[in-house]
Homo-oligomer: A and B are copies of this chain.
Amino acid sequence: MSEKRKQIIEAAAKSFSLFGYKATTMDQVAKMANVGKGTIYTFFKSKEELLEEIVSSIISEIKCEADAAIDQSLSFNENVQRALQRIFTFRKEHELTIKLLQEVRDIGTPAVRDVMKRLDREMIAYVRGKIEEAMAKGEIRSCDSELTAFLMFKMYIALNVEWEKEHEPLSQQKIAELFHLYLLKGLSP
């Protein structure tokens, strides 16, 4: 894999998380990556595709971290909870996701909105996979995996993001308890 390609991705990722997608110019990226602007276009057909590439690797990274949080000796409930906690901790602490979510909220840049929507969809798909595994093993009762993953994800957003808009933030401990109490009890076999 080309060295220049890596430089470009790295420069763009840094600039996106520093200034946001809209405020990053391709001239800027070229300068930071020590390449001519034209070179960027031999690897990526547009600024948007460059963003997509970067977000794709973020998605892989998140999935990887979530997988690392899973411990086969624990129950499905414990594991899905740990995976979701990882996913949202990442979202909250990673410079780039913070900046991009801000940009969607404040400016609504369409390209960024789309790409963050994809990130959400992929996280839901990830959880869905875990649910299907657990169903196959008989760890949880049969259910619509898409719907269940969707609800788990939305509940985590409610607890991690929306609650804080009008109340004191909840500790991860408290979120885990609530998640268990409200959502998982309904899935026990």
Give chain A's interface residues, CB within 8 Å of chain B.
121, 143, 146-148, 150-151, 154-155, 158-159, 162-163, 166-167, 178, 181-187
Give, as a whole number of angstroms, the nearest-CB distance from A113 to chain B.
12
Give, as a whole number of angstroms, the nearest-CB distance from A123 to chain B.
13
- 15 cross-chain CB contacts under 8 A: A121-B166, A147-B163, A150-B158, A150-B163, A151-B155, A151-B158, A151-B159, A154-B155, A154-B158, A155-B155, A181-B186, A182-B182, A182-B186, A183-B186, A186-B186
Query: A148 contacts which chain B residues (CB < 8 A)?
Result: 182
Query: A158 contacts which chain B residues (CB < 8 A)?
Result: 150-151, 154-155
Report copies per complex: 2
Bound Cα distance A183, B152 (Å) = 11
Nearest chain-B residue to A124 (Cβ)? B166
Query: A146 contacts which chain B residues (CB < 8 A)?
Result: 167
Q: Is the CB of B186 within 8 A of A147?
A: no
CB-based closest 10 A-B pairs? A185-B186, A154-B158, A182-B186, A181-B186, A185-B185, A182-B183, A151-B182, A151-B158, A186-B186, A150-B163
Give, as a whole number of angstroms, the nearest-CB distance from A88 to chain B.
15
Bound Cα distance A147, B167 (Å) = 10
